[in-house]
Amino acid sequence: MLLVVLGYVWPEPDSSAAGRRMLSLLQLYRQQGWQIIFASPAEQGPHRFELGQWQIEEKQIPLNDSAFDQWLSQLQPDVVLFDRFMLEEQFGWRVEAACPQAVLLLDSEDLHCLRQARQQAYVAKRPLQQTDLYSEMAQREIAAILRCDLTFTISRAEMTLLTEQFQVPASQLLYCPFLLDEPLLVPGADFSERQHFISIGNFRHEPNWQSVLWLKQQIWPLIRAQLPGVELHIYGAYPPPKATALHAPKQGFFIKGWAENAHQVLQQARVCLAPLQFGAGLKGKFIDAMQTGTPSVTTAIGAEGMGDGNTLQDACSDHWAGLLAETAENIAAAAVRLYQDEQLWHTKQLLGYQILQHNFARSKLEPAIWQQLESVRLQLTEHRAQHFYGAMLRFHHHRSTRFMGQWIEAKTKLAALQQQLAPPELKESI
């Protein structure tokens, strides 16, 4: 059996939660003995995972090029997985034309339309409104979900939003959070042996960057005033100059950059700080924090989807592996309390371990996930017959994108031909 993954980017598990999640999905198929090809039009970054060590073939693919169609047609994969809805928009029509009987899977990562709506509300300095969700991005993303046979959905809260707010059939959604292998826990130092705060997250992810700014401008000065000798170490891949400019050792504010081993740096810290004001999906930083026994302070959005709740922002401090707060003053007070209260710290550490065992153990989740995947694959005709709207969207969308893609390909070839045939003195002007 063959799985072809069309990746938005090459997986970087040490740089982002998205990279780790992609590897967990690849592992799901590897354990079932499938052959896997990972293909992407993106450039390969310095922190990418070497898929060859997992016997996964890597393929660089072009955009708007019929060579892709020929390649996929020869392969005839059993399943094609689109990494984010943008890849389904780009390649969906080509996949359907080349291998119409392949199961179409979409990994949404998180709901982009929800993250965008929250970010826009944040920028406008107002609460999220229901109408914010009905954006152009939502139309694109929900349409891609409907066109696919199944969509990996990382959060129960987002599954509820999709089924109730957008009327997506539950039979087209597959709940699949982070899948953690045993051992779930990484032994770390105890309370008295740990010191300082830590914040970690890819700087290219806007919620993480805004969190760092909030820490620098408002929250950290309040914490530092009460704990003058304590430091905040901020880790994350791809720090831009505007981030490194925040480095201020005299204030105990350290921009550390990329962490080669996130677990190692988290093991040394006493408290993880991640005051996220917008975002979506599940946050990998808190998985890492719980695995290393490091309680955290965040917002309801930060903790969303980590527990058993099925609605947005249903998290509360009583059921979180740390403390939750929403204002700079309350976040700072929670951070100081958790940093100093050893009994509370141990209670929250234990709660983190329980959350991991209950909600993220691969051995507990994987059988039901694989059963649903195989059920759709083995009954694909019947499954698609139940979802007429998806077939209708594929028909109209694939025709329009097909002609656009072919026009771009023809235009590119014409420009290359003109460059080739032009006199030497004119080539630079074409």
**pLDDT tens digits for range 219-258:** 999 999 999 999 999 999 888 999 999 999 999 999 998 8
**pLDDT tens digits for range 75-126:** 999 999 999 999 999 999 999 999 999 999 999 989 999 999 999 999 999 9
In contact, 6 and 161? CB cutoff 8 Å:
no
Reply yes or no on whether the pLDDT at 371 is more than 60.
yes
Beta-carbon contacts of 235 under 8 Å, excluding residues fewer than 6 positions away, are 198, 199, 200, 201, 256, 257, 258, 259, 262, 265
For residue 312, what pLDDT is reported? 67
Using the 8-state DSSP alphabet, how is residue 257 labeled? E
Helix extents (H) in 227-361 = 241-244, 262-268, 284-291, 300-303, 328-340, 342-359
Reply yes or no on whether the pLDDT at 425 is more than 80.
no
Topology agreement, domain 2-179+363-410 and domain 191-360: yes
What is the rounded distance in angstroms from the CA atom of residue 153 to the CA atom of residue 172? Answer: 10
CATH class of 191-360: alpha beta
Q: In what order do the strands lie in the sheet with 103-107?
A: 57-60, 35-40, 2-6, 79-83, 103-107, 150-153, 173-175
What is the rounded distance in angstroms from the CA atom of residue 87 to the CA atom of residue 76? Answer: 19
Beta bridge partners of 105: 81, 150
Using the 8-state DSSP alphabet, how is residue 165 labeled? I
Reply yes or no on whether the pLDDT at 404 is more than 80.
no
Q: Which two tokens stand for residue 400?
A: 């329009």
For residue 170, what pLDDT is reported? 96
For residue 418, what pLDDT is reported? 62
Reply yes or no on whether the pLDDT at 405 is more than 60.
no
**pLDDT tens digits for range 289-310:** 999 999 999 999 999 988 765 5
Reply yes or no on whether the pLDDT at 354 is more than 80.
yes
Reply yes or no on whether the pLDDT at 368 is more than 90.
yes
Q: Which residue's structure tokens are 């993250």?
A: 115
What is 2-179+363-410's CATH superfamily?
Answer: Glycogen Phosphorylase B; (3.40.50.2000)
Beta-carbon contacts of 188 under 8 Å, excluding residues fewer than 6 positions away, are 194, 266, 267, 268, 292, 293, 294
For residue 410, what pLDDT is reported? 60
In contact, 33 and 2? CB cutoff 8 Å:
no
Query: E strand or H helix at 146, and its extent?
Result: helix 136-147
Cα 190 → chain centroid: 31
- For 251, other C-beta atoms within 10 Å of its C-beta total 14
For residue 429, what pLDDT is reported? 53
Which class for 295: exposed (0-12), middle (13-18), buried (19 or more C-beta within 10 A)?
A: buried
- Rounded to a whole number of angstroms, the CA Rg of the chain reads 23
For residue 308, what pLDDT is reported? 64
What is the rounded distance in angstroms from the CA atom of residue 348 to the CA atom of residue 370? Answer: 32
What is the rounded distance in angstroms from the CA atom of residue 12 to the CA atom of residue 243? Answer: 21
Q: Is 103 left (phi over 0), alpha (psi -120 to 50) or beta?
A: beta
Pairing of strands 271-274, 197-200: parallel
Domain chopping of the chain, boundaries: 2-179+363-410, 191-360
Q: Please report, rounded to a whole number, the percentage of residues in the chain having pLDDT higher than 90.
A: 75
